[in-house]
Amino acid sequence: MQQSFRVRDIQIAPATVLAPMAGVTDTIFRRMIRGLGGCGLIMTEFTSAEGVTRNASRTLSYLYFEPDEHPITAQLFGANARVMADAAKLVEDLGFDIVDINLGCPAKKVVKCGGSGLLRDLRSLEELLSSVRAAVRIPLTIKTRAGWDDKHIVAVEVARMAEGVGVEAIAVHPRTREQGYNGFADWTLIRAVKEAVSIPVIGNGDIRTPEDALRMVRETGCDAVMIGRGASTNPWIFRQIGQFVSTGRYDEPADGDRYELLSSYFRHLKDAGWPDAIGKMKQFACWFTHGVRNGAELRRRVTTAQSAAEILNRVDAFFSVELASGSGH
């Protein structure tokens, strides 16, 4: 696995990327991942270009970032070429390093106005990418799925076309829109895209362990790996990949590490006055606690709490008992 890769003149080291995840990769989550080390590039939640250009405050809040988050990519979705170009300009003005176009989201409400819906009409997609490319000076990248369904696997075609209009890197999640998040990601498609273009190719899909990350690179030749759901259940995965590359082994977090991370993340959410802080806490607890001893009990306590303060108290109480029992791991 290579130490770094470049998107034009931006050096990304290590060659690992946090995938954009709706409702997850806000500034607090991204900075938590950054703080744990090992992640080369972070990305915003995918953000509506229509919302950005209409100056909708909730949409613009998705594009809030802190200076210590560089290098950072803003990901946009939409289907109108002019609106996408205008939104990309705004992203550039905000100081993002890279702008990325989402061609992968399978959600129904997104498909109607972008996401993987764009994979059904490559001529319109080419026009959209050309418009965005002409509008900004910063690097332009895309994240795509395999295609709409098994009968329309278009990732290689999309990659070639994107490279032709000046897109500077492509992330490939080799499931179809129809698959959603079910079944398996077909990594052979990542290899096919890598062989078809000369821009960096970032592999995404079914990376749950450091072993998976190295196997993907070995099997596909991709320039970097992108991790989404694997990072929400195990935020240490990027650091573990670095350890595994260097030494052939990696550390598992102890219960004390998990407690520290969970409570500090929740406190940051509460202190930031996030409008849906409680929802975010409950969602994160459901993923994150699968590695915790008696995690089901902790999940139950968090999901039945009524307020952010109550969640924090319950997390503190749970771990004080677990850690006092002396296991530590």
Q: Which long-range contacts (CB under 8 A, 24 or more apart) does 243-246 make?
A: 243/210, 244/210, 244/211, 244/213, 244/214, 245/1, 245/14, 245/210, 245/214
Name the 3-class secondary structure at 293.
Answer: coil
Alpha-carbon gap, residue 15 to 36, rounded angstroms: 16
Q: Given the residues 105, 113, 222, 286, select the one marked as catalytic.
A: 105
The neighbouring-strand residues paired with 43 are: 73
Helix-then-strand count for the chain, H and E:
15, 11
Residue among 271, 324, 318 nearest 299 (CA): 318
39 is catalytic: no
Q: Find residue 140's DSSP bridge partners.
A: 99
Token pair for residue 67? 């200076």
Q: Active-site residue numbers?
A: 105
